Amino acid sequence: RPSITFDNIVFGYENERTILHGLSFEVEAGSSVAIVGPSGAGKSTIARLLFRFYDPASGRILIDGQDIARVTQESLRAQIGIVPQDSVLFNDTIGYNIAYGREGADEETMVAAARAAAILPFIERLPDGFDTEVGERGLKLSGGEKQRVAIARTLVKDPPILVLDEATSALDSRTEQDILRTLKQVSEHRTTLAIAHRLSTIADSDRILVLDQGRLAETGTHAELLRKG
Ligand code: ADP
Ligand code: ADP
């Protein structure tokens, strides 16, 4: 359960306009922090920097106190599971899609891992479970079902850090709440960074950061932010 620290991060894409202006925040080990803010505020940029798709112009990003600029890409990827808004699934079974999350795993290993990672609540409601076909060959999964599979595929790697980048934003709010309940049930112990634009998505987070034009405008719990208006 590592912590995440953004320490005075300055960043702009290809030396264009500065997107993050000396951003600092911490996600304590095992806690869940949500980042909200208007479109273009820099929320997804934070996720991309954490994954080292880009490097900051200045400042440091630490995972468990260790500068991510000094760890290998493989060990970084092993630590962070990311679920984007529009996950792409293979035209194959759900089992295959989930096994893909564990490179080279055979079905038996994968099922064992799925049990260990407690991801079964994500797929048990599908009629054929792991054997359900995704795509034109089989059942047409709804958006919510697809995201359930995508989350399961990420969790099967058992990443200590989970990044949800608008992972439920495209869904109706009932489906979203349903998925968030399952997530809470299976990932209580993980360090979670959730990026969202809807407040309802992140009501359960331990702390909320409101980002505006690359700067922190507010931080607090959901209740505190509601009180401040
Ligand atoms: P958010 O997730 O809050 O909507 P983003 O982090 O995606 O915001 O984007 C922040 C700013 O960076 C926006 O102004 C966006 O246009 C710009 N931006 C995002 N990706 C790129 C890119 N690859 N190249 C240049 N500018 C980008
Ligand atoms: P990671 O290594 O983090 O699992 P990848 O970069 O391999 O991510 O893949 C990113 C996304 O694209 C994943 O959701 C994966 O399922 C999907 N993807 C990768 N390759 C293909 C492919 N050939 N066809 C369809 N989807 C793919």
Minimum-distance ligand to the CA of 84? 2
Q: Around Cβ 218, how many Cβ atoms within 10 Å?
A: 14
Antiparallel, parallel or unpaired: β 20-27 and 4-11: antiparallel
Q: How far is the CA of 20 from the centre of ligand 1 (A)?
A: 10
Give the ligand whose atoms come closest to the C-alpha of residue 152: 2
The reported pLDDT for the residue numbered 184 is: 84
Q: Please tell me the distance between residue 155's alpha carbon and the centre of ligand 1 in angstroms.
A: 27
Contact status, residue 91 vs residue 137, Cβ threshold 8 Å = yes
Ligand 2 in reach of 87 Cβ (< 6 A): yes
Tell whether ligand 2 has an atom less than 6 A from the beta carbon of residue 90.
Answer: yes
Long-range contacts, stretch 96-99, CB < 8 angstroms, 24+ apart: 97/134, 97/149, 97/153, 98/123, 98/130, 98/149, 98/152, 98/153, 98/156, 99/156
Q: Is the CB of 45 under 6 A from ligand 1?
A: yes
Q: How far is the CA of 9 from the centre of ligand 1 (A)?
A: 15
Distance 224 CA to ligand 2 centre (A): 39
- Residue closest via CA to ligand 2's atom 9 equals 88
Is the pTM higher than 0.80? yes
Which ligand neighbours the alpha carbon of 98 most closely? 2
Q: Is the CB of 39 under 6 A from ligand 1?
A: yes
* C-alpha to C-alpha distance for 129 and 164, rounded to whole angstroms: 24
- What secondary structure letter does DSSP report for 8? E
* Residue 15 CB–ligand 1 contact under 6 Å: no
Whether ligand 2 lies within 6 angstroms of the CB of 85 is answered as no
pLDDT score at 137: 53
pLDDT of res. 105? 65
Place of tokens 């599971």: 81
Q: Confirm whether the ipTM is greater than 0.90.
A: no
The verdict on the CB of residue 44 being under 6 Å from ligand 2 is no
Give pLDDT tens digits along the chain (229 positions). Answer: 899 999 999 999 986 799 999 999 999 999 999 999 999 999 999 999 999 999 999 999 999 999 999 999 999 998 999 998 888 888 888 888 887 766 666 767 766 776 666 677 777 777 677 777 877 655 577 888 888 888 888 888 888 999 999 999 899 999 999 888 888 887 778 899 999 988 778 778 899 999 999 999 999 988 888 887 6
Residue of minimum CA distance from atom 24 in ligand 1: 13
Q: Are 146 and 135 in contact (CB under 8 A)?
A: no
pLDDT given for residue 102 in this prediction: 65
Residue 34: closest CA among 196, 181, 228: 196
